[in-house]
Amino acid sequence: MAGGWAMVPILICSAIALAIVLERWWTLRRAAVLPPGLGDEVRQWARAGQLDPRHLQALSNGSPLGELLASALAVRNRPRELIKERIEDTGRHVVHRMERYLNTLGTIALIGPLLGLFGTVIGLIRMFMEVMAGGIGDPAKMAGGIGEALICTASGLTVAIPAYVLHRYFRSRVAGYVVQMEKQATALLDELTLPAPGAPTRVRRPAAAVSAPSAG
């Protein structure tokens, strides 16, 4: 209340930022995004032929990594380039969902100091208006305006700094998950399209050499 009405948008932004941080912290847990051992299990399914629609649906709904791997298994009988394209398309959607609300958090980190500056300007204007109306004989009026300005500035920075730090942290976490998901998707792609070690391969026989005619 001491910061004036300009504190209202700052408090709203702080509440939104706190909700986003808690939601993303829970959603972007490593166990929820990259379940341990899921990649090896899915490759074992592919080798054993356990790829019925029920398995694929459960895999897709379980985690972002599972959704990415299920998209590759859904077109496993197609050429390698088509499977790779499907993985890339699904990956863009998965990453978009993992980055949900992070733009809003970044916006709050950006506008927090601006809202504090706005409150500062309002407090200074109020102080000068009171000085113009009643002179400088009442130091309490000047102190009230200066205090309102400083409270708004401090509040805006208090909201913006953690929001910025956590925005960068979540971005970095998503980037790390993307690298791990690409690694698992590539391993599954190789499992589906490359011949197994020791499998017989067709070798083209060399053409018979043409002997040179004998002299004489």
Segment 200-209 shows an average pLDDT of 42
CA distances from 79 to 23, 76, 91, 92 (A): 39, 8, 18, 21
User: Distance between CA 67 and CA 48 in Å, rounded?
Assistant: 20
Q: Which residue has the higher pLDDT, 194 or 98?
A: 98
More confident residue, 25 or 215: 25
Does pLDDT of 53 surpass 60? Answer: yes
Q: Exposure string (b/e) for 183-203, b if CB count within 10 Å is 16 or more? A: ebbeebbebbeeeeeeeeeee
**Given a cut of 70, is residue 205 above it in pLDDT?**
no
Could you tell me the residue ranges of all domains in the chain? Answer: 7-193
pLDDT recorded at residue 49: 75
The per-residue pLDDT for range 125-178, each reduced to its tens digit, is 777 776 676 665 556 666 666 777 788 888 889 999 999 999 999 999 999 999
Mean pLDDT calculated for residue range 78-103: 92
* pTM as predicted: 0.78
